[in-house]
Amino acid sequence: MNCKYLYIDDNSEHNAKGIITGLQKEGELSVDFDNPKGDWEKERERILSDEFKNYNGLILDLNLEEMPNKDKETSHYKGSSLAQEYRNLSKAGKLKEIPIVLLSATVNLEKYFDRTNEDLFDLIVPREWLNDPILFAPLRQKLISLSIGYELISKCKNEDNNLIELYKYSLELENNRFISEMRSVIGYPTHTVSNFIIKNLLEKSNIPVSGILITEEILATRLGIDISKSIDWKNILENLKKYKYRGVFSEGWERWWMSGIEHWWRTELELKNSLRATSARQKIDLLKDKLELTALVPIEKNEKAKSEAFWTKCVGSGVSIDTVDGLLVDGQDNYYPWQDKKYICYEEALKPKGKHKWKKLSPSEEYKLEILQKQFPNIRPLK
């Protein structure tokens, strides 16, 4: 499938060429560029035109009011206003629903973006991310995945809310609250369903969500395996391939079913040791024995940590930790019961290196930080 996106930005096509070239790939994704029309009615005519029906997605800059277009007209509306109008027209049945991605400079997001408009967009991408060429490929995959996923969601909405078809997986082992929420959400417009899945199952604020679905890094952490030193990691993934996520948006978000991993551990490997409570070294010994592998190396415990039953990663540093050796990050009171909470390790709490990823601790954890600071008085935050 060759997906086709329209990218609307008040910048010149010449200045946007690097982004367009980086995102495009022959036979997979093409991106057409245009400036805003300047006049609101002309903008509405554009998205209602037959030509616009050929697009599988829309990329919008937030601040469309800075530069005049090629006809010397300056717009007086933002990308969020255009996205809202598109969603309204879709809801009225005048347009098919397609994914909308906001691509804007961080300074504009902080200055102009009304966070109540977040649900209009399937993805919000800071433009600065694309200064790193390595990030074009994963973003391209997400754009393709979004267009494919929208079609799948629409199909499932017309098939008596078929969640198994949507997720390509039996959901009998999943959290009942999750099933209930999905059954209620899937009757809403496609972009609402997309928002729910992406922001509550796949990623939240561009950070992967763990819980029902987990990333490869969390998978390795929970199995106690140091990927960088384990040649047999590919063999582990091969053993787990039937538990890899193949549902909606899986082309852009590589994940594994946590319920499947636990089932594999208990039933297929016939291991009585709790996956959650077993240390990394014990897990490695068990896996080597059961799967007849030799090149697996356990994750080493962080200096100040006590437990080797690793379960998550520090949000700031990426170090593998057990939650008992972590401090809870603030702002997680409204998480769903199937979502794992985010933590930082002791080192990150004492001497933050990635604080922009977590901002502050939960108030309930402040006393733990005070104890740590007394225990390690010579460690000071970076200035």
Check if the beta carbon of residue 312 is closer than 8 Å to that of residue 218.
yes
pTM (predicted TM-score): 0.93
Across all residues in the chain, what is the average pLDDT?
Answer: 93
Work out the average pLDDT over 201-224.
94
pLDDT of 302 reads 87
Q: List the single range of 151-165, 185-199, 274-288, 354-368 with lowest mean pLDDT.
A: 151-165
Domain boundaries, the chain: 3-147, 210-300, 304-383
Are 202 and 253 a contacting pair, CB within 8 Å? Answer: yes
Q: Does residue 382 register a pLDDT over 70?
A: no
Contact 251, 260 (CB under 8 A): no
pLDDT at 160 over 70: no
d(Cα 248, Cα 153) in Å, to the nearest integer?
8
What pLDDT, on the 0 to 100 scale, is given for residue 161?
59
Average pLDDT (101-117) is 90
**What average pLDDT does range 143-168 have in this prediction?**
88
224 phi-psi bin (left φ>0, alpha ψ -120 to 50, beta other): left
- Quote the pLDDT of residue 263: 96
Q: From CA 191, how far away is CA 193, in angstroms rounded?
A: 5
Given a cut of 90, whether residue 381 has pLDDT beyond it is: no
- Strand 29-34 vs strand 312-313: parallel, antiparallel, or unpaired? unpaired
What's residue 158's pLDDT? 63
Radius of gyration, alpha carbons of the chain: 23
Q: Which long-range contacts (CB under 8 A, 24 or more apart) does 69-75 make?
A: 69/10, 69/35, 69/36, 69/37, 69/38, 70/35, 71/38, 73/37, 73/38, 73/39, 74/10, 74/38, 75/10, 75/36, 75/37, 75/38, 75/43
118 in Cβ contact with 141 (< 8 Å) = no
pLDDT at 303: 86
* pLDDT tens-digit map of 24-77: 999 999 999 999 999 999 999 999 999 999 999 999 999 998 888 888 899 999
At 332, the pLDDT band (50, 70, 90 cuts) reads very high
For tokens 């972590």, the residue is: 326
Cα 380 to Cα 42, 149, 373, 374, 377, distances in angstroms: 57, 47, 9, 11, 8
Which residue, 204, 9, 5, 39, is CA-closest to 108? Answer: 9
Q: Is 368 strand, coil or helix?
A: helix
Q: Can you spell out the DSSP letters for 136-189?
A: HHHHHHHHHHHHHHHHHHHHHHTTTS-HHHHHTS--TTS-HHHHHHHHHHTTS-
Task: Kindly state the percentage of the chain with pLDDT values over 90.
Answer: 83
Average pLDDT over residues 186-205: 93
Mean pLDDT of 304-331: 96
| pLDDT at position 383 over 60 | no
- Given this model, what pLDDT does residue 343 score? 97
- What is the CATH superfamily name and number for domain 3-147? Response regulator (3.40.50.2300)
